[in-house]
Amino acid sequence: MDKTNIRLYIFTRFKLGFNATQIHEELCDAWGDGCVSYTTVAEWIHRFKQGRTSLDNDPRIGRSVTEATDKNIEVIRALIDENPHISIRYMAFETGLSYGNINRIIHDELKLKKLCTRWVPHELTEKYKQQRMEICQEKLAKLESGQWRLCDIVTGDETWIYHRSIGTKQSNMAWCSEGASPPTVAKPNQSDQKNMFVIFFRTTGPELIHMVESGNSISGTYYKENCLEPLFKNIRRQRPKSGLHAIKLHHDNAKPHHTKDIRTFLQEVGVMVMPHPPYSPDLAPSDFWLFKAAIKQLFRFQKFTISCNQGNACYITR
């Protein structure tokens, strides 16, 4: 029911002697609680009591849309360039332009939209940004020139895997009857059962999946004995002729990865460590795509079994 018909009904019932409460209840009974508010009914009855007969809106008093001039566009552009977080209300206060005109300038003329700030683990300095770019360009150049081969790169990292999956927003959608409340899913919390996994992989697939027993933490010694040594043993078994020749290890800058014992061990076995830019977890392939994709695929099965041998090398089966 449109506004004009609602106002006509209010006017008709008012002429018949009904009050605002009665008219509002009738409209809600006929069209539902959200069709019109009591305040609106009472306001229109007040207008009809004062002799009004028109059902149209009052003419609006405001600034013309022609205020989107080149000068005003540049003023708004300058305010946004100075402070990207500025609000439209504050711009209206500063310029004297209407909220609607500023909104039109921003969206129609400047083609801008306001996005939420994206949280990052660390605010990179110019030095770190430059170092990040140089390291990436150096790696890319070596791969493109054939100096490095992608199949010789082993990358790995740690991640927590919860035993209870909350799924994705799409996978949790459910059919509900009209008026029923949507289902709820509780987010994981610290007390939920979980295990830490260390996963290494190459282009040929996973090289090592190691589960850290509850109560243990990853130190340099633990990382060497339970992760790197089994990893290299597995690579030697797969490559009996070349062994660890030309193998390059890519892991992030976590402290257990760069202790003195780890650096000495990697030099002894002849494995080069690829440099990783500071505070750049988004450049680690594991964090960038592997863990999310693997966990999503894992929980498609709903029920799974984690089997580990004495060295905690793990196999995940349905």
111 phi and psi angles, rounded to 5 deg: 55, 45
Q: What does the pLDDT read at residue 181?
A: 82
Task: Please name the helix (run of DSSP H) or strand (run of DSSP E) that holds residue 131, with its range, or none.
Answer: helix 126-145
Q: Per residue in 4-18, pLDDT tens?
A: 888 888 999 888 999
Q: Per residue in 298-312, pLDDT tens?
A: 555 444 444 455 555
Q: How far apart are CA 44 and CA 47, in angstroms?
A: 5
Angle between helices 3-15 and 38-49 (to 10 degrees): 60
Whether pLDDT at 167 is above 70: no
Least confident of 97-101, 246-250, 283-287: 283-287
Q: Per residue in 203-215, pLDDT tens?
A: 888 888 898 988 8
Q: What does the pLDDT read at residue 303?
A: 44
**Beta-carbon neighbour count of residue 125 at 10 Å?**
11
Q: What does the pLDDT read at residue 308?
A: 55
Q: Per residue in 11-53, pLDDT tens?
A: 998 889 999 989 988 888 888 877 888 888 898 998 889 888 8
Q: Which residue has the tokens 């990853």?
A: 218
Q: Per residue in 118-129, pLDDT tens?
A: 776 678 889 988
Whether pLDDT at 233 is above 80: yes
Q: What does the pLDDT read at residue 249?
A: 94
pLDDT confidence tier of residue 297, bands split at 50, 70 and 90: low
What is the mean predicted confidence (pLDDT) over 284-302?
A: 64
Least confident of 41-50, 128-137, 172-181: 172-181
Question: Which residues does 229 contact at the CB level (< 8 Å), separation at least 6?
Answer: none
- The percent of residues in the chain predicted with pLDDT above 70, rounded, is 85
Considering the entire predicted model, what is its pTM?
Answer: 0.56
Question: Which residues does 219 contact at the CB level (< 8 Å), separation at least 6?
Answer: 256, 259
pLDDT confidence tier of residue 265, bands split at 50, 70 and 90: very high
What distances in angstroms separate CA 44 from CA 17, 26, 167, one per listed residue?
A: 14, 16, 50
Whether pLDDT at 226 is above 90: yes
Spelled out in words, what is the top-level CATH class assigned to the domain 126-168+189-317?
A: alpha beta
Q: Per residue in 83-110, pLDDT tens?
A: 888 899 889 888 888 888 999 999 988 9
Contact 66, 33 (CB under 8 A): no
Spelled out in words, what is the top-level CATH class assigned to the domain 3-49?
A: mainly alpha
Whether pLDDT at 259 is above 70: yes
